[in-house]
Structure 1
Amino acid sequence: MKNLKTCRVNMMVSNLDQAVEFYHHKLGLELINRYGDHYAEIQAPDLLIGLHPTSDKIVYGNNLSIGFGITEFDATIKELEAKGIEFKLENDGWIRLAYFSDLNNNQLFLAERKD
């Protein structure tokens, strides 16, 4: 798609305030825009995350996953654990993975490639 300018992942959340708190304050991602209680945009490196509140029933988990490539894996895990985030760690030979969830059980992970 030669005219592609930007990409985003949109996800439905049960509480916009709590979602912004998680992605902006706990994970430290930049809050780009917030349109009252209707929508918020969170910027991660090379990824825009759109948060949409819904009154419909949220289907927890298995809807999507967002991966964050990081450096200093152990220090990052320690920092986020201090903020109450729990991880399931996996060492897959050439990559280290740390799986975690947001408040609606959307699946997230941190990844560090081994050199």
Structure 2
Amino acid sequence: MFTSANVTVTVADLKKAVQFYTETLGLKLQGEMDDHFVQIEAPGLTIGLLHLTGERNAQSAKSESMSIGFVVQDLEAAIKTLKSHGVKFHDYVEGKAAQVVHFNDPDGNTLYLVSDH
């Protein structure tokens, strides 16, 4: 039924967000729809970055109701790489089946790395 998946994240500064997702996270810029929307290619997922204008922008650019996870084979290596780009981590969780560590994009959207045991 489904052929692919995507998620759209609202951002306050599109240029800064594109830089974070491409340069810091190492994801690929897939395409620019217009001055307010771009698509970023992640493994198995397309992430849309949407810059809202006017009143809607400031409040909409921060979300605590969703998060994007990235599966990694070597959690410590991934943390080290992202820390070298200035990423700050929080909420390290050691679960029975996986290890998870959270961080935020420049707009405060929650992202996380997960590694199976």
Q: Deviations over 1:26-82 (max 9, x none)?
A: 000011112352211001110100011012133423131000011111111001001
2:101 matched residue in structure 1: 98
1:13 matched residue in structure 2: 11
Question: Which residue of 84, 87, 97 maps to 2:86?
Answer: 84
Is the contact made by 1:67 and 1:108 (CA closer than 8 Å) also made in structure 2? yes
> What is the SS of the residue equivalent to 2:26?
coil
1:39 matched residue in structure 2: 37
Is the contact made by 2:11 and 2:50 (CA closer than 8 Å) also made in structure 1? yes
Q: Percent identity?
A: 31
**Aligned 1:42-53 pairs, distance under 5 A:** 42-53=40-51
Q: Which runs of 5 or more structure 2 residues have no equivalent in the other structure?
A: none
- For 2:65, give the aligned amino acid: N
Is the contact made by 1:63 and 1:106 (CA closer than 8 Å) also made in structure 2? no
Is the contact made by 1:58 and 1:104 (CA closer than 8 Å) also made in structure 2? no
> What is the SS of the residue equivalent to 1:68?
strand
- For 2:16, give the aligned amino acid: Q
- Aligned pairs, how many? 112
> What is the SS of the residue equivalent to 1:58?
helix
Q: What is the rounded CA distance, in whole Å, between the counterparts of 2:89 and 2:19 in structure 1?
A: 18
> What is the SS of the residue equivalent to 1:103?
coil
Tell me the TM-score normalized by structure 2: 0.89
Task: Compute the RMSD of aligned alpha carbons.
Answer: 1.2
